[in-house]
């Protein structure tokens, strides 16, 4: 049995996979906003799954950050209470077994390239558009972690071709201005429409469809920014498939509008890259985490 944990900014999900690959159990709990709270929640989920199923399993964890190859500490997590923690070591001790940890977008990419929306593609760029923004890369079925374990950290590059109104951009938690994440994440989209303090963008498509011009204009700006940001990826990696996951991936207009818009920025006379929603939805990360073993 393989157990996967998706450690998100708002929820922690566990899945237990049988050897054949199908899910035996799935559970979710809200994410505690403290390091020790996260350790306790993961131990609760793993212990509960194993007790219910009467079996033990390997454990893989997807996190919104990465482990430094120099120190082993969590870094770059937008769930900032994780940063600086010895998560792999502490979870291994808490669970009494080795634990494998990777970036949550890497887990998404593994899942969607294996049996998801990009199954069979030789090159896959998988994007999370949620509380934060990240991505993972799979080439010929293999995850590209990178020399510094930052393969796919696209969200912390600057938004390309900024307009005068966009420049220099909002300060990111990473300490720099104008990161792609600060324009494309869910809270940024909500704030762009409804001002400071707004965090929930899920209702914007329905508002736009009902004639809310402010919501429609916000969604148009977001699609244009996503097209610019992804055109950089296409110019560098030229992937066969780009997969979108996370809460904002449910906005259906992205799959028609963004490919129209990115043609202006891609350095090619044709753009055959496919933009598709994740087949496994917001469960892609947890399924990929289980497959880290």
* pLDDT tens digit sequence for 54-105: 999 999 999 989 999 999 999 999 899 999 999 999 999 999 999 999 999 9
User: Does the pTM exceed 0.75?
Assistant: yes
Helices within the chain (DSSP H only): 35-53, 87-95, 104-115, 180-184, 186-194, 204-209, 213-236, 254-262, 284-290
Residues forming a β-bridge with 26: 15
CATH number for the domain whose boundaries are 120-277: 3.30.420.40
Q: Where are the domains of the chain?
A: 2-106+283-290, 120-277
Q: CA dihedral in degrees (25, 28, 29, 34; nearest 10)?
A: 100
Encoding tokens for residue 203? 């209702």
Tens-digit pLDDT profile for residues 206-225: 999 999 999 999 999 999 99
Hey, do 2-106+283-290 and 120-277 end up sharing a CATH topology, with the first three levels equal? yes
pLDDT more than 90, % of the chain: 90
Among the CATH numbers 2.102.10.10, 3.30.420.40, 1.20.1050.10, 3.90.1150.10, which is that of 2-106+283-290?
Answer: 3.30.420.40
pLDDT over threshold 90, residue 282: no
């Amino acid at each position: 049995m393989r157990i996967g944990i998706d450690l998100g900014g708002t929820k922690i999900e566990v899945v237990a996979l049988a050897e054949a690959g199908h899910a035996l159990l799935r559970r979710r709990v809200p994410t505690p906003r403290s390091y020790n709270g996260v350790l306790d929640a993961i131990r609760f989920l793993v212990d509960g799954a194993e007790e219910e199923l009467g079996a033990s399993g390997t454990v893989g964890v997807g996190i919104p950050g990465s482990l430094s190859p120099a120190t082993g500490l969590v870094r770059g997590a937008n769930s900032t209470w994780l940063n600086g923690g010895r998560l792999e070591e502490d979870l291994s001790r808490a669970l009494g077994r080795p634990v494998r940890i990777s970036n949550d977008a890497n887990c998404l990419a593994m899942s969607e390239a294996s049996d998801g929306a990009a199954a069979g593609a030789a090159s896959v760029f998988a994007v999370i558009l949620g509380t934060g923004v990240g991505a993972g890369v799979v080439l010929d079925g293999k995850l590209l972690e990178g020399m510094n374990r930052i393969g796919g950290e696209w969200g912390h590059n600057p938004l390309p071709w900024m307009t005068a109104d966009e420049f220099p951009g909002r300060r990111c938690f990473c300490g720099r201005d104008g990161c792609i994440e600060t324009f494309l994440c869910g809270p940024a989209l909500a704030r762009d429409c409804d001002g400071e303090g707004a965090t929930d963008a899920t209702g914007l498509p329905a508002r736009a469809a009902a004639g809310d011009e402010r919501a429609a204009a916000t969604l148009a700006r977001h699609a244009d920014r996503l097209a610019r940001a992804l055109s950089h990826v296409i110019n560098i990696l030229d992937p066969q498939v780009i997969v979108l996951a996370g809460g904002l991936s449910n906005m259906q207009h992205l799959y028609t509008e963004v490919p129209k818009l990115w043609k202006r920025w891609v350095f090619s006379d044709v753009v055959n890259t496919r933009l598709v929603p994740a087949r496994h939805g917001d469960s892609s990360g947890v399924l990929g985490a289980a497959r880290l073993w």
